[in-house]
Amino acid sequence: SQQGEEDPQALSIQEGENATMNCSYKTSINNLQWYRQNSGRGLVHLILIRSNEREKHSGRLRVTLDTSKKSSSLLITASRAADTASYFCATLAGGTSYGKLTFGQGTILTVHP
Amino acid sequence: NAGVTQTPKFQVLKTGQSMTLQCAQDMNHEYMSWYRQDPGMGLRLIHYSVGAGITDQGEVPNGYNVSRSTTEDFPLRLLSAAPSQTSVYFCASSYVAGVSGSETQYFGPGTRLLVL
């Protein structure tokens, strides 16, 4: 079963606007990661946040984690047309072997120039 | 480094045929995984390996076999292809960084499989 549920399923914005995507999960986690997938290609790792962290930044990306609500959000600031892609959250469940990430269904982001 | 490579890029099979999807990584990563991606389903884990000679099942292992005789290679075998196995297959490798235990997965470009 899918560990992560993402919201919204699709998001359409104008260049320069901020994009926020949310991810909820079901079990306790070791860490939560966000990946990006351009159409027809493999996934690329964006950012990882550990279960004892609440917020993390990387360039125009900001990730928050609320373990009490079992949810995370990814904020992309000042979006660009090149940010158009699918974004997935992935969790490593607590006590689980490495190599065993569980992915959400993804959010399709379209940034219009 | 080539990273994670997968072959073939695209394959058409008839129901009942068998085939092997190849995956190789040149980063000396300990962990390797196979996922399938179907529309609206995200990625689902098929099998994974924590090192040479050690494999285990993921969420959807039925109809697939794996082996890991070397650190570099992690082939996925379809024993008797079925239309339900039509999907895009991704291989990934990862390592665990330092005392934080943070794992980042590196993905191959994928293999598109169509089973008729």
Mutate to test the interface with B, among A31, A39, A98 (most CBs of B within 10 A): A98
- Measured between beta carbons, the chain B residues lying within 8 angstroms of A101 are 33, 45, 103, 105
Could you tell me which residues come within 8 angstroms of residue B48 by beta carbon, excluding any fewer than 6 positions away?
A: A97, A99, A100, B31, B32, B33, B34, B55, B56, B58
CA torsion sign, B68 to B69 to B75 to B81? negative
What's the pLDDT at A66? 96
Question: Residue B96: what pLDDT?
Answer: 78
Whether the per-residue pLDDT at A78 is higher than 50: the answer is yes
Query: Taking the CA atoms of chain A, what radius of gyration do you get in angstroms?
Result: 13
CA–CA separation, A34 and A29 (whole Å): 14
- DSSP-assigned states of every residue in B9-57: SEEEE-TT--EEEEEEESS--SEEEEEEEETTTEEEEEEEEEETTEEEE
* Confidence label for A2 from pLDDT (cuts 50, 70 and 90): very low
Residue A20 scores a pLDDT above 50: yes
User: Above pLDDT 70, what percent of chain B?
Assistant: 96
What's the CA angle centered on A43, arms A38 and A47, to 5 degrees?
Answer: 105
pLDDT above 70 as % of chain A: 94
The count of C-alpha atoms lying within 13 angstroms of the C-alpha of A71, restricted to the half-sphere facing its C-beta, is 6
Q: If pLDDT is split at 50, 70 and 90, which confidence band does B40 have?
A: confident
Answer yes or no: is pLDDT of A3 > 60. no
Structure tokens at B17: 């045929």
* Chain B environment of A47 (Cβ under 8 Å): none
B36, B45, B68, B102, best to mutate vs chain A, most A CBs in 10 Å = B102
Confidence of residue A8 (pLDDT cuts 50, 70, 90): very high
Contact A30 B101 (CB under 8 A): yes
Residue A111 in contact with residue A51, Cβ under 8 Å? Answer: no
Greatest distance between any 2 Cα atoms in chain B:
48
Is A99 within 8 Å of B100 when comparing Cβ atoms? Answer: no
List residues in chain B touching A: CB distance below 8 A: 4, 30-33, 35, 40-45, 48-50, 56, 58-59, 90, 92, 94, 96, 100-110
Best CA proximity match to A73, nearest among A85, A55, A59, A99: A55
Query: For chain B, how are helix, strand and coil distributed in percent, rounded to 5?
Result: 5, 55, 40
Give the mean pLDDT of B45-51.
Answer: 93
- Chain segment A87-112, per-residue pLDDT in tens: 999 998 766 677 788 899 999 999 99
* Cα(A101)–Cα(A93) distance, integer angstroms: 8
Pairwise CB contact (< 8 Å): A97 & B33: no
What is the Cα A61 distance to its own chain's centre? 10
Does residue B75 contact residue B69 with C-beta atoms inside 8 Å? no
Contact A40 B49 (CB under 8 A): no
Residue contact B48–A1, C-beta within 8 A: no
Mean pLDDT of A62-71: 96
* Coil/strand/helix, residue A83: helix
Strand (E) or helix (H) holding A80: none
